[in-house]
Homo-oligomer: A and B are copies of this chain.
């Protein structure tokens, strides 16, 4: 193909954020036994997404479809999984085995999205040593060594806000490449550590503006 305008451009983060949604939709079609799907059918049940938006989103990563026919569902799935790099697994550790932490340790989604939850830490002696979601909870004090020994890539913070920053520091010195922050505070780390935040508090607050 001569014009590969978008192929080399970096995809907007909005596009990246929609890819898992597309993958879920595709799995739905596959479950239905559908072999081919057009961009129009694809977005029928996706409010806020037009077929042109889907096609543009895809244009950043390659030609996925066949003109006149649509997209081959299973090939499409394979391609998307490749783009999202779901094959290679990331080793993750969770800090803070409270209510939220416990829910996360039992959350099946981590596995689906390529995360192997290998370690869990807490500082409460009552909790240390117990099994949660099939994982033995270690003491926070042993964190650095255990992180290094297990070559952990990703840290997941599920501690209260006032403990989040020191935990983040420990994770970084333990060598993690990315942090998922479930606490309500903003974290400060070196630039080379990737931070993402799941902010329940902010979501609630933003809703109070409207309701």
Q: Which residues of A contact B (CB under 8 A)?
A: 13, 16-17, 19-21, 23-25, 28, 45-49, 83-86, 90, 99-100, 102-103, 106-107, 109-110, 113-115, 153-154, 161, 177-178, 180, 184-188, 194, 196-211
Q: What B residues does A206 contact at CB under 8 A? A: 13, 16-17, 19-20, 84, 196
B203 near A196 with CB under 8 A, answer yes
Copies of this chain per assembly = 2
B211 near A154 with CB under 8 A, answer yes
A16 near B210 with CB under 8 A, answer yes
List 9 additional contacts besides A25-B186, A46-B186, A196-B206; criterion CB under 8 Å: A13-B206, A19-B205, A24-B202, A85-B209, A109-B184, A113-B205, A180-B207, A196-B207, A197-B203
If A84-B208, A194-B207 touch, does A202 touch B109 (CB 8 Å cutoff)?
Answer: no
